[in-house]
Structures are given as C-alpha cells and as structure tokens.
Amino acid sequence: MFLTGTMRINAAGHLEIGGCDTVELAKQYGTPLYIMDETLIRQNCAAYRDTFAALYPDSLVAYAGKAFLTTAMCCLVEEEGLALDVASGGEIYTAHVAGFPASRMIYHGNNKTPDEIRFALDLGVGRFVVDSLSELELLNEVAVAAGKTATVLIRVKPGIEAHTHHYIQTGQMDSKFGLGLADGQALAAVKTALKMKHIKFTGLHCHIGSQIFDLKPFQLAVHVMMDFIQEIRKKTGVSVQELDLGGGFGIRYLRDDNPYALTEFVELIVTAVNAKAAEHNLPLPKLLVEPGRSIVGEAGTTLYTVGTIKDVPGIRRYVAVDGGMTDNLRTALYEAKYEAIVANKAKAAAEETVSIAGRACESGDILIWDIELPALKRGDLLAVLSTGAYHYSMSNNYNRFPRPAVVFVRDGRADVVVERETYADITRNDVIPPRLQQSVRQAAK
Ligand code: LLP
C-alpha cells in the first residue's frame, strides 16, 4: 500500500483524506463513494502551471476533462488558471454551465456533429482540434453559415504510439485519430485550412497515448512535429504558431510504479522544442499540453463496503464489494491493476490473499485479482487507490445500479460535487408507450 496527497492514517487507525475520516464519510454519504482530494488536484494543477511558466512562459496547460469532469471540477480548473480540453457537446455544456470561459476551451473529437460544432461556435470555443479533412470542410461550412471564424489546430499522427512501458514507431499508424504525415494528409489539411476564409489555422496537435512512463516517445513526438512545422514553412511560407503535445503523462497505481517527476518531463520537451527551433531557425511556437490522468488520477479514491465473502476451496477467496465495473471499468477493459487499503483498519497487517469482486452480473467484474489484505469481514470498508481519472467519467448503469456520489475533501471538510443517483434517476428517461401501459395495467389485475 502507499499513501498519496493528504492521505494519512489517523489515531483510530482509519484512513483519512483531506482531513476527513473515511469511515465517517461512508456513514454520511454511503458507499460506493468517489472521494477526491481537492488539495492534491490543486497541487497538481499548480505544478503544471508553474513548471511551464518557469521553463517555457509562452505555454498553456489545458486540463483534459475526459479524465474527470463535473461542474465543480470546471470551477476548480478555472480558479487554478488552466485551460480545458473538452471532447464532446456534453463536456462543453458542463463547462459552460459552470461558467468556464469558452475561449479557454480546446475542442477535440474524431466525429464532431454539426450540432456540436454549431453549439461550440455559438459559445465561442477558443480552439477546434480538427481530426480529418471531412471535419475541416464541415467546420468551415457551419462557420460560414453562422458568420463565425473557427480557430483551428490540425491533429497529426506523428507515427509514434506509446504505451505504459514501451513505444513503437511506425510510418503509417493505424488509428482513427488524426491525419497522417507519411501519406501527406496532414499537410493537405493545413493547406486547405489556410485557404478557408472562416478558418483561422494556428497550429498542430498530437497525442501519443496515455499512462506513459517513458520520456523518450514525448521527445520523439516533439522532433517529428517540429520537423513538420519546418516543412509547412518551406511549402506554404506560414509559421505555425502553436504546438499542442496532448496528454499522457503516467501516474502511480501500484507501489512499484515510478513515474518521472513532472519537471523532468517538462524540461525534456522544452529542451527538444528549443533545440529543434534553433536547428530549423523557426520562431518558438506557443506550447500547449493536455494532462488529464496526472492531474486527477492519484487524487481519487473509491470507498466500498465489503459484502459477501466466498471461498472457492483451494482456489481463491472472493471478497465482493458494493460497486465494481459500473464505477470502475478499467480492470475489465484494460486489465488495470490497483492497490487498496482497508479504510476502517488501515494499520492492520496483511494476512490473506483475496480477489475483490464487483457485484455486476458479469464474471469479468473483478476489481483486483490477488491482493494481500488484512482479514476482511462484511461491513469493512475498502478504499481502492488512484481512481480519480477515467472512473467517474466512464461509470455506467449496467444492471441499473445507481452511480455513486462524488465528494471533494479538503481541510477536514467534505462537499458533495455529484449527488448519488437514485432509483428515480434510473428510470427518469424511460417511457412506457400507452399501448404498453395498458398491458401493464391488465397484467396487474
Ligand atoms: N488529449 C487528448 C487528445 C486525449 O485523447 C487524451 C486522452 C488526453 C489529452 C489526456 O490524456 P491523459 O493525460 O489523461 O493520459 N480511458 C483510458 C484513457 C483514455 C485516454 C484518452 N485520451 C484509461 O482509463 O486508461
């Protein structure tokens, strides 16, 4: 086990986050419960903001909302002075109702609909990251009709694909995102954008993957993108003003995970940009990054109540909790691994190896395979760590389980930022057509 942010074990032997005893949080808000360490989120925002400001002042850090977005989170991001990466009309709407300025939103997506584009243009979304030639044409059409101009970054496939512990370089990357360099599509899109009256082309974007521990692929991405900037200048005479390097910086899920320090990452990309600009005699572009997971991932903890414990003799002990793949899809989708702490007896020594099962009707709904924990019994509280990114945002209502509440904790105070769903929420959008209402009434007789 490891503790992050403001976590500590208090005198009662309970896990405490943000000065709040998690046993009390469970009593007050119920479980499963997403607990977000507001202080750690703010520290992470500040670290990105201040490190970039110190090492490359002409830069902009945009928090990637897909990792975790609620209206309160938008307010926090705004207070911390970050911009916001949004990936859908729903994310734009969330930020808008929270009062987040549209001009500081960067809009992504490989299939933005005409309605979403219109909505974004009407609000004045600051940058559109265009993912295809077809989208460029659509965006221009909608912008012409609306009498607006869209500021555009072109998303490029740099031909580098990075995963947690390795990366690959391929000439022709098979991905639904972005425009290829090798096949000339990216250059064609830039040239087309430059001709469009309602499109203001300002820069390039790339994103090479997520949960990356190796720094080398980021450096390579800078090299490839800066070389492309040089090519654009040679072929069109235009100096690219902005370079957005996406997100992807890895975090700690397991005690042995050892991500680089943020300053090392920033120093590396800044050095690479400066070196390439000097090599090609290019003006320095404004640098953008879009961290998601590394802002919120370690700040999140999911608190569950232990229910049924089932022994499969000679094989394993399943400890079922009151959540699972509905609040954490990552184990089922990516075989993601987690650490956990027994929140109501956090000082107890590990005694047995168990597997933590969810309660959805699916065999694959296992949160953690084989974890050593103190002896557990029904009613114990299990805290699963590093669940701040891509958990709430990927939660679902499979089996019609209501989604958990989300609380922000800070300095001994907890505030609900998303209410727990109720059964009424579950049926809110259901409609019984009149002919079926009749059969229901008859069946009830
Ligand atoms: N920018 C773009 C264009 C992205 O596609 C992403 C993530 C980010 C920024 C933020 O990346 P981060 O800093 O969070 O790694 N559901 C998966 C992760 C999907 C990432 C999608 N794109 C997971 O749970 O691991």
Best probe residue, ligand 1, of 179, 210, 252, 294 (max atoms within 8 Å of C-beta): 210
**pLDDT of 164 strictly over 70:** no
Q: Is the CB of 387 under 6 A from ligand 1?
A: no
What is the model's pLDDT at position 162? 82
Residue nearest atom 17 in ligand 1 by C-alpha distance: 390
What is the model's pLDDT at position 58? 98
| pLDDT tens-digit readout, 167-225 | 777 645 688 899 999 899 999 999 999 999 999 999 999 999 999 999 999 999 999 99
Q: Is the CB of 207 under 6 A from ligand 1?
A: yes
Average pLDDT, the chain: 96
Based on its alpha-carbon atoms, the radius of gyration of the chain, rounded to whole angstroms, reads 24
Could you tell me the two tokens for 385?
């760590």
Residues labelled as active-site residues? 361
125 Cβ partners below 8 Å, 6+ apart? 86, 92, 102, 103, 105, 106, 107
| pLDDT tens-digit readout, 4-14 | 999 999 999 99
CA 142/CA 165 separation, integer angstroms: 42
Q: Is the CB of 391 under 6 A from ligand 1?
A: no
Residue 219: Cβ within 10 Å count? 18
| pLDDT tens-digit readout, 215-232 | 999 999 999 999 999 999
Element (H, E) at 26: helix 22-29
Separation of CA 209 and ligand 1 centre (Å): 7
Question: What is the DSSP code string of 95-153?
Answer: HHHTT--GGGEEE--SS--HHHHHHHHHHT-SEEEE-SHHHHHHHHHHHHHHT--EEEE
* Burial per residue of 72-111, b for 16 or more beta-carbon CB atoms within 10 angstroms, e otherwise: bbbebbbebebbbbbbbbebbebbbebebebebbbbbbee
Residue nearest atom 24 in ligand 1 by C-alpha distance: 390
- Overall average pLDDT of the 327-338 stretch: 95
Separation of CA 67 and ligand 1 centre (Å): 7
**pLDDT of 445 strictly over 80:** no
Q: Is the CB of 294 under 6 A from ligand 1?
A: yes
| pLDDT tens-digit readout, 289-330 | 999 999 999 999 999 999 999 999 999 999 999 999 999 999
What is the model's pLDDT at position 1? 78
| pLDDT tens-digit readout, 256-276 | 999 999 999 999 999 999 999
Separation of CA 390 and ligand 1 centre (Å): 8
